[in-house]
Amino acid sequence: MDLGLKNRIARAVRGMAAVVVAAQIISFQGCIGPQFEGDSLDRVMERGKITLLTRDSLHTHYIYRTQHAGFEYDLASAFADHLGVELEVRSVKEEKLFSLLRSGQGDFAAAGIRVTPVRKKLVDFSEPYAQTQIYLVAHKDNRLILSVDDLKEKTVYVRKGSAEEYCLRRLRDSGIDFTIETRRKTVDNLLSMVENKQIELTVTGDRTADLYRRYHPAIQTLFPIGDSMPVAWAVAPGQASLREAINRFFEEAENNGAMHAVNTRYFGNGTYREYLDLRRFHNRIKSRLPRYQDMIKDVAREKDLDWRLIAAMMYQESHYDPEAVSSTGVKGLMQVTRTTALEMGIENRLDPRQSIEAGADYLNKLIGMFPDVPEPERTRLALASYNVGYGHVRDAMALARDLDMNPMVWPTLEKTLPLLRQKKYYSKAKHGYCRGYEPIHYVNNVMAYYDILRRKAVVLRS
């Protein structure tokens, strides 16, 4: 072909592409709508209600047993309490978050939003409350991809329009030759496809991966893609007063431990050792738990407990082995001590029904012994007491007060319980020496298993 003709065709193609891009930008701006005017914080305080825009996922917001839950929801709820207003939740598709925010149909957006240069042109962001890095994710059996150079001629699947897609495109633009396939799927969907070997590779943030590896134990994170990215809340452009209120709340939550508590609740229990055991846990949910599930549910209804919590404890105690006996002589599915068996009125600790009833009764008793502690911390403290004894937990709370720490939250006791191994602290404690690290591992493992079992009942709205 004539070189001049080639050049004319290339110019024509570039011109057509520019028209298409311009049309897309005009269309996108049109769907955003006009930015509303006025001080949003004043409006929030006047109506006594603040509207959260979020999206449904296990790490942002979901409904469990008719109750709202999720990291972003819990943090937003604390923010509403901080302002003294009611929280209204609007769960929407991710691609609509910013358009609805700019048109005044929500006051702020909190959905694990990673701050990118493109997004900064659309909305204003608070100070970041976390940093995250995007990681490549593969099946645990994959041993062939060790660096970005191994991505050559590979295909990586990613959520369409996500920050992960932005990072992948930047990586490809740097000269790494691989294919990007976008899908309108959730993080959970893509990770499940990796676990089931339907696709080879996807990407997600490290915080998200820490949470989802509980539910997909056959996945692994390989290496980071790009630099660390801030995670923040968003407000409509020009809403400086609301943005500053959010920033003040984040600072206060960081100082008083509230931020750490919410982080621990959703992201803080993951360890590599735990992931190794999770595959066994998922297997035993299928192979052993069904033998006792109806029995657990019956007891849970009688004791007004969540059966999944009892099942989580049971796995931690005995791995669903009714004849389990520890080196210290505790026995059965719930590893009941002889003293507890007498106190709870059971005769045979190796009988599955009696063991479950005794364990549930004792847990209920312990929950009732912390009337001064609000949920969900009360349950965590009761679990710690089930493991190491009520007196030691109260000693750890007393030590927290002495150290000017909040004794009512689990993250504080994660610090003070281990101190009771040191003579300078346990010599002054009412109940003496405590194996302080054991209840920490116990509680965090039980809550991780409980979270996995609850997930089977999560209702996600589209």
219, 138 Cβ separation under 8 angstroms: yes
Question: Can you give the pLDDT at residue 268?
Answer: 63
Strand order, beta sheet including 62-64: 67-69, 62-64, 458-459
CA 82 to CA 62: how far, in whole Å? 22
Compute the average pLDDT of residues 413-431: 90
Question: Can you give the pLDDT at residue 209?
Answer: 85
For the cut 50, the answer to whether the pLDDT of residue 104 exceeds it is yes
Compute the average pLDDT of residues 24-44: 53
Question: Can you give the pLDDT at residue 57?
Answer: 81
Stronger pLDDT, 295 or 214, i.e. the higher one: 295
Instruction: State the pLDDT confidence band at 25, using cuts at 50, 70 and 90.
Output: very low
Instruction: State the pLDDT confidence band at 217, using cuts at 50, 70 and 90.
Output: confident
Q: Which domains does the chain have, with CATH numbers?
A: 279-460 (1.10.530.10)
CB within 8 Å of 410: residues ≥ 6 apart: 261, 264, 377, 380, 381, 443
% of the chain exceeding 90 in pLDDT: 58
CA 337 to CA 101: how far, in whole Å? 56
Question: Can you give the pLDDT at residue 14?
Answer: 37
Quick one: DSSP state of residue 152?
T
Nearest to 262 by CA among 34, 79, 5, 121: 79
Question: Can you give the pLDDT at residue 273?
Answer: 44
CA 341 to CA 229: how far, in whole Å? 52
Question: Residue 255 in 3-state DSSP?
Answer: helix
Catalytic residues, by residue number, are 317
Compute the average pLDDT of residues 148-172: 92
Compute the average pLDDT of residues 298-323: 94
Average pLDDT, the chain: 85
Tell me the pLDDT tens digit for each residue of 333-374.
999 888 888 888 888 989 999 999 999 999 999 999 999 999
203, 135 Cβ separation under 8 angstroms: yes
- Give whole-number Cα distances, 45 to 49, 53, 73, 417, in Å: 7, 18, 20, 41
CA pseudo-torsion sign 266, 271, 276, 281: negative
Token pair listed for 123: 């909305």
Compute the average pLDDT of residues 269-295: 77
219, 194 Cβ separation under 8 angstroms: yes
Task: Count the residues in the chain.
Answer: 462
Instruction: State the pLDDT confidence band at 198, using cuts at 50, 70 and 90.
Output: very high
150, 222 Cβ separation under 8 angstroms: no
For the cut 90, the answer to whether the pLDDT of residue 242 exceeds it is yes
Instruction: State the pLDDT confidence band at 38, using cuts at 50, 70 and 90.
Output: low
Strand order, beta sheet including 155-159: 179-183, 155-159, 202-205, 134-139, 219-224
